[in-house]
Amino acid sequence: MKAPLYVGLVHYPVTNKFGDLITTSITNLDVHDIARSCRTYGVKGFFIITPLESQSQFLDRILTFWQSDVAHTYNPHRVDALSIVSHQKTIDFALQTIQNQEVECPLVITTTAATIPDQMTFGDCKLLNAPVLMLFGTGNGLTQAVHDNADYTLMPIAGVNNYNHLSVRSAVAIVLDRLTSEK
């Protein structure tokens, strides 16, 4: 991908399996694994998006440890990966952060496991020149309103059968690989 890429892991607004609007909890595993994938594939920033102060405090405890001298000695690669992680209360705040760092306004691309009309292909996404904020939903995915407000929605990851319910960690890694691979 030619454009500067940012990743947002959205904990609100997302849906549960019944389609209800919910807020999900941050998981330590998602923070670490997605940060490692983001760093591997050249992502400029990884935003954990949640309005909940308790979740912000939880994330702050994780990140504070990984900024310590002990962490630098224990696992410098993990320190490096987690250095691109930050908390944002909303998607709009994440967009504002990107706008403060980039010359151009970012495009918003949402992800989903569902097939919906007018989805962007991975190949088309690679051709973008403007900064991109790629949003991934937790729970059962981003709300329809988030998709409606995005510039594009990326086509789902296709497996070998009809089952399509990856963990968000796996989905981020696969999408990043497809967007940055030579093929």
Angle of the 168-180 helix axis to the 28-40 helix axis, nearest 10: 10
pLDDT given for residue 183 in this prediction: 61
Rounded Cα distance, 15 and 17, in Å: 7
pLDDT given for residue 44 in this prediction: 97
pLDDT given for residue 132 in this prediction: 97
CA distances, 81 to each of 3, 16, 35, 76, 169 (Å): 20, 29, 5, 9, 14
pLDDT given for residue 54 in this prediction: 97
pLDDT given for residue 171 in this prediction: 97
Task: State pLDDT tens for residues 118-149.
Answer: 999 999 999 999 999 999 999 999 999 999 99
Positions of the chain with pLDDT lower than 70, given as ranges:
183
Question: Does domain 5-180 sit in CATH 3.40.1280.10?
Answer: yes
Omega into 13 within 30° of 0, i.e. cis?
yes
Q: What does the radius of gyration of the chain's CA atoms come to, in whole angstroms?
A: 16
136 residue type, one letter: F
pLDDT given for residue 159 in this prediction: 87
Residue spans of the domains in the chain: they are 5-180
Nearest-5° Cα angle at 4, 66 to 159: 85
Say if residue 51 is exposed, middle or buried (CB neighbours under 10 Å; 0-12, 13-18, 19+): middle
pLDDT given for residue 169 in this prediction: 97
Residues making up the chain, counted from first to last: 183
